[in-house]
Amino acid sequence: MAALESFSATYHRDPRPGDLIEIFRPAYQHWALYLGDGYIINVTPVDEGSPASSSAKSVLSRKARVRMQLLKDAVGNDTYCINNKYDNTYNPLPVKEIIRRARHLIDQEVPYDLLGNNCEHFVTWLRYGEAVSGQSKTAICAIGLVTLAAGAFSLLGLLHSRSRKREY
């Protein structure tokens, strides 16, 4: 764990191989999986830029590259925590299997979709064998609520304009 010794971030314990790492970016959370010895695996833009733009650039390209990086480099100036939040819902695969699956994908190009195949989907698939993302569920709900509200306001506006026409 020498790579972590000089690195400080917000966490309650040292990450263990197979742990999910949630990185708090200014406008979103980026997800990685801890491999051990200070390294993580995550998806980054095909044309890799700064760590802070990881998921943002992938949204535009719809492709990402699986990379192994030092945790401290992936986090940059942001903070992170260990967040195995689905452990009560899904059984984690054996650590050796998680690491084998992860290492097999390093440097491969993979499809990326913010709502259906994002960085959280990627790491939960590695850990649990199930690709799940609370972020995408939240985004889909928000989009649905906005769409519903827009529809309701349109309907109210239409009804209001029809009632005004009858008065004349």
Of 81, 119, 121, 160, the catalytic one is 119
- Return the structure tokens found at 131: 């690709």
Query: How many alpha carbons fall within 13 Å on the CB side of residue 138?
Result: 6
Are 110 and 41 contacting, i.e. CB atoms less than 8 angstroms apart?
Answer: no
| Exposed / middle / buried, residue 153 (Cβ in 10 Å: 0-12, 13-18, 19+) | exposed
Task: Spot the catalytic one: 30, 104, 141, 160.
Answer: 30
Active site residue 141: no
Using H for helix, E for strand and C for coil, what is the string for 24-45? ECCCCEEEEEEEECCEEEEEEE
Residue 12 appears among annotated catalytic residues: no
Residue 88 carries which side chain, given as an amino acid letter? N
Active-site residues, by number, are 30, 119
